Structure 1
Amino acid sequence: MNAVGSPRFAPRWLELRERADAAARAPELLRPLQAWLAGRSGPPGLVIRDLGCGTGSMARWLTVRLPGPQRWVLHDHDPDLLALAGTRMPGTAADGTPVTATTAPGDLAALTAADLAGTSLVTASALLDLLTVEEVEALAEACTRAGVPALLALSVAGLVELAPADPFDETLTDAFNAHQRRTDHGRTLLGPDAVAAAVTAFERRGARVQVKPSTWRLGCAESALIAEWLHGWVGAAQAQCPELAPAAAAYLGRRLQECAAGELQVAVHHTDLLALPGGGG
């Protein structure tokens, strides 16, 4: 579901965050998902579409947690990331049955129920908050009309906690959240409002929705990720509110020093969402 104007992410950033993503995702959503998949009719095996797959971290996490033969279709608009994802898929599922993968480049903003014919599951990670309300509505429409569940992980929740606290934390959080809700190339992004919009969109169409927290909890062992995240977080806040530049630069310097000394802890709050079509098992 990458629309025109969606950002391109560096492989280094995606690789740095993969371990934190894996630790944060909500595994308790897998039990109702597996029950639904086990109760569905149709041929054996799963066909799973990973939207905005990046380097394939969601597929690597989920493949080995679901039993049965799996065929993954990896979607992304970035051909370089898509090539990486295609070569890094696990070869077997949770029960040792085979896993295969194909890649599908291109823009997914026009995804329809017809495109999901034969699909068992739609999944995505760190994507929902990059969509507009219209795109979330279209995704909910496609999934529910096709009778396909959706597992949408790691959407930003708009809350960040840093320890030790700094008086400038709240100012930067507000500016970052405004940046996440910006209008970009004519698209007004949902940012921290994405999960609420998705819950509304899926439930209006009869889906049963569950949400669970999926928070990054980062300490000295993740100092490289914290430093990279700080640069991006402060940079986005400053891009939204250029008047913050002098104070933001000083803040970033302080926080990077704390990070290098192993003194900084960060909790970045996300939310995972599972939507099961009405009438599912």
Structure 2
Amino acid sequence: MTAVGEVRVSSAWLRLREPADAAARSTVLARTAAVSVGRAAVTVVHDLGCGSGSMGRWLAPQLPGAQHWVLHDRDPDLLRVAATHGPGSGADGAAVSVEGRQGDLTRLGPADLAGASLVTASALLDMLTADEAERFVRSCVAAHCPVLVTLSVTGRVRLSPADPLDAMFGAAFNDHQRRTDGGRTLLGPLAVHAAVLLFRALGSRVEVRASPWRLGADHGPLLAEWLSGWVGAACEQRPELGAVGAAYLARRRAELAQGRLAVTVHHLDLLALPAGGGK
């Protein structure tokens, strides 16, 4: 996910995190989604908040048959990247085509997903408000097809070696994820659980799997960028942490440079299947 409301991320960050995302996502849910979609002349996949297209590059090779990916994002530059570097082929070598649709996902409606065989999204839910998440779920349910949503943050982060200040920065970061910004109060780590409850309330069968990032010495650039963003967001939320935050970040960067720092960032993937089967 990249652009919702006023939230933006860079293509450089998306490129940096793509291998970790691919390693973390649940292949079990992907296989279940592939079976649930079945085999059609063309499988139409709507990728909501596609960003630079990493979800398509990961999932399309796991789906059989010809596919058409409809890429939704607010950012036209990221849409161009996603369309230019789309998935090459399906699991059996069948062709995959793409189209981009620029728009605000907070205004998503059932008509936007008409004809979908599968709906996907990645790292999206935590950037929505409660009303937007409900609109998202209701629109997906109305499409009456499988919905695979990956890499929703849970608010749980574990750093090793442990530091006495880890919990304080983690709590401040989670508060930042739930901040009110431009009149929008984000769900942050609460979003995935709210979505699961709503999908179930609307009759969908929901499966959930853990999809943690496990970052260590071999993820140096990604871990460095994540660490700076994590501490920076915590200090933005609680400015009084600024002085101690600088020292904490320096200690953690030193551990990273020594190859000693490891971080687990917990996420959940969910697959919602329509009642009575899909299309």
2:38 alignment partner, SS class:
helix
Give the aligned partner of residue 36 of structure 1: 36
Distance in 1, Cα, partners of 2:31 & 2:107: 30
Given the two structures, how large is their TM-score scaled by the length of structure 2? 0.96
Distance in 1, Cα, partners of 2:89 & 2:31: 20
Q: Residue 228 and residue 3 in structure 1: after superposition, are their counterparts in 2 closer, same or farther (change >3 A)?
A: closer
Could you tell me which amino acid in structure 2 is paired with residue 37 of structure 1? V
Distance in 2, Cα, partners of 1:216 & 1:106: 29
Offset, 1:108: 1.9
Distance in 2, Cα, partners of 1:125 & 1:143: 14
Contact 2:110–2:143 (8 Å) recurs in 1: yes
Distance in 2, Cα, partners of 1:53 & 1:234: 26
Contact 2:49–2:122 (8 Å) recurs in 1: yes
Contact 2:44–2:115 (8 Å) recurs in 1: yes
Distance in 2, Cα, partners of 1:260 & 1:48: 41
Offset, 1:37: 0.9
Give the aligned partner of residue 4 of structure 1: 5
Could you tell me which amino acid in structure 1 is paired with residue 15 of structure 2? E
Offset, 1:138: 0.7
Distance in 1, Cα, partners of 2:48 & 2:186: 17
Distance in 2, Cα, partners of 1:80 & 1:34: 30
Give the aligned partner of residue 54 of structure 1: 51
- Listed as ranges, the gaps of 5+ residues in structure 1 are none
Q: Report which stretch shifted further, 95-104 or 135-144.
A: 135-144
Q: Percent identity between the aligned chains?
A: 56
Give the aligned partner of residue 186 of structure 2: 189
1:50-199 aligned at under 5 Å gives the runs 50-199=47-196
| Residue 218 (1) aligns with residue 215 (2) | yes
2:209 alignment partner, SS class:
strand
Offset, 1:106: 1.5
Could you tell me which amino acid in structure 2 is paired with residue 149 of structure 1? P
Give the aligned partner of residue 249 of structure 2: 252
1:160 alignment partner, SS class:
strand
Offset, 1:48: 0.6
Give the aligned partner of residue 22 of structure 2: 22
Offset, 1:261: 1.4
Contact 1:136–1:201 (8 Å) recurs in 2: no
Offset, 1:200: 1.1
Contact 2:154–2:189 (8 Å) recurs in 1: yes
Contact 1:150–1:274 (8 Å) recurs in 2: yes
Would you identify which runs of 4 or more consecutive aligned residues in structure 1 move more than 3 Å? none
Contact 1:156–1:191 (8 Å) recurs in 2: yes
Q: Matched residue pairs, number?
A: 277
